[in-house]
Amino acid sequence: MRRDIFQAIADPTRRAIITLIALQAMTPNAIAEQFDTTRQAVSKHLRILTECELVKQEQQGREIYYSLEIDKMKEVDKWIEQFRKIWESRFEQLDEVLLTLKKKQNEK
Amino acid sequence: MKNDLLFDFTVDKEAKTVFIKKEFAAGLPLVWDAFTTQEILDQWWAPKPFLSRTKIMDFKVGGRRFYAMVNPEGQEHWAIQKYTAISPKTNYKFLNAFADKDENAVLPGSDWDLTFSEENGITIVDIVIKNDSLERMEKMIEMGFKEGFTMTLNELDNVLASLKK
């Protein structure tokens, strides 16, 4: 199954996990402590995030630490670009509305 | 319409805040009216092919604008903007929340802060939108965008499909 970053950020718990490990690498246990859900549920989210290549694992002693793949987060920028386009279109319309209103004012 | 008026759009993902700056070739009173009068707002607020349909608008502190974005199939996406502060022709703030058709808001919403200034006949509008979550930003995109523009349609479909999940 193909996974992508939008799947990763489509879930509120996963977004919260991203925010957490963006600050520092954390063990699954430390992450799970932050949530009101089971350790299994958190593991599942971590697995999906790993499959989306959004987080990486690192062994340190006996513990596994999860941290964020910053470059991957940049894909979100593309998605933000679409949001920008909404405003661009909106403002193009407003520019025209203002032009029309100005003409009307001048005719008065 | 081609012009050299400034349009600046930045997103601070950590702070979940969107910053928009736009210049308009019109005097401040006119631009202020375009943002704060129902009749003019409905002419430009919705990106084509959406329509903006305002049902209630009471532009005063404590008042609200209850409106829908209507897609070409006639499907309505409702939202409420509750005005929290107004300094005429300078600034106004509102709390924006999605809603159902009976005006039940889906909280929490986003905080909007709009500042107006004029220089040499050009009006500058600064908009700051603070979201409580990335999810909300996704929702905003869906609301304003789903049927899409013609330009990057194919690429867009893929992205939207994954967003809708």
Residue B155's contacts (CB-CB under 8 Å, 6 or more residues apart) are none
Residues B43-92: tens digit of each pLDDT: 888 877 788 899 999 999 999 999 998 877 788 889 999 999 999 999 99
Q: Find the CB nearest B163 among A10, A80, A87.
A: A10
Q: How many CB pairs under 8 A join A and B?
A: 103
Which helix (H) or strand (E) segment is B95 a member of? Answer: strand B91-99
Q: Does B45 touch chain A (CB under 8 A)?
A: yes
Residues B35-50: tens digit of each pLDDT: 999 999 998 888 777 8
Which helix (H) or strand (E) segment is B122 a member of? Answer: strand B122-130
Query: For residues A104, A108, B6 and B7, what is the CA-based torsion angle, rounded to 10 degrees?
Result: -40
Angle, in degrees to the nearest 10, between helices B28-36 and A75-107: 120
Taking every pair of Cα atoms in chain B, the longest distance, rounded to a whole number of angstroms, is 48
Instruction: Please give the ipTM for the structure prediction.
Output: 0.74
B4 contact residues in A (CB cutoff 8 A): none
Selection from B69, B111, B118 nearest residue B92 by Cα: B111
Residues B130-142: tens digit of each pLDDT: 887 666 666 666 5
A4 contact residues in B (CB cutoff 8 A): 162
Residues B92-143: tens digit of each pLDDT: 999 988 889 999 987 778 899 999 999 998 999 999 988 876 666 666 665 5
Q: Which residue has the tokens 């979550």?
A: B133
Q: Find the CB nearest A86 among B13, B141, B165.
A: B141
Q: Whole-model pTM?
A: 0.65
Whether omega before B47 lies within 30 degrees of 0, making that bond cis, reads no
Using CA atoms, how far apart are residues B9 and B122, in angstroms rounded to an integer?
18
pLDDT score recorded for residue B141: 60
pLDDT score recorded for residue B155: 36
Task: Please check whether residue B54 is in contact with residue B44, taking contact to mean a CB–CB distance below 8 angstroms.
Answer: no
